[in-house]
Structure 1
């Protein structure tokens, strides 16, 4: 599993992500107050676990890679603070999808 983040390694099918910054200004240039900003559901994968085990004992790799942009569910995930930055851990199966170019 590729690791861009050396201080924390998720276990099994877990994925460590960093949420993208919330939009603070509209396209027209109007500042959006923090209370009105929607929850950011897009994130960048920072680290991935080795994958889950099948019933036969085979390892099924995680479906996303470090650096990919993913869509998160509105609720869930475990918040982790590393180097004064907020990250979130999700199970691979909880990630809704990934963005492709």
Structure 2
């Protein structure tokens, strides 16, 4: 299935939550935090007032409660407005 976000929306694949601490302790599901980073999979065309700054394959940081979680082909993704993205990460 192909998804093309509309206007200033962005489709993001969240980075998986850490499974273990650096010291090797396994983190249970109930203690895992929602990921705050992800990879941009698709972007909309923007609006007449705001052009799209992020592009596909950018690694971005977003707020804890940003976006709407959707499931496509068994994979959990987030769709959010570009303004919900806090930063683009350069690695």
TM range (shorter): over 0.9
Q: How many residues align?
A: 91
Unaligned runs of 5+ in 1: 1-5, 55-59
Aligned to 2:74: 84
Matches within 5 A, 1:85-100: 85-100=75-90
Q: Deviations over 1:2-50 (max 9, x none)?
A: xxxx610000100000100000111111101111111110111000000
Aligned counterpart for 1:17 among listed residues 12, 18, 27: 12
SS in 1 for 2:83: helix
Query: Does 2:34 correspond to 1:39?
Result: yes
Residues in 2 aligned to 1:37 and 1:84: alpha-carbon distance in whole angstroms: 20
Q: Which runs of 4+ in 1 moved over 6 A?
A: none
Q: Which entry has the higher C-alpha Rg, 1 or 2?
A: 1
Residues in 1 aligned to 2:87 and 2:80: alpha-carbon distance in whole angstroms: 12
TM-score normalised to the size of structure 2?
Answer: 0.93
Query: Does 2:64 correspond to 1:74?
Result: yes
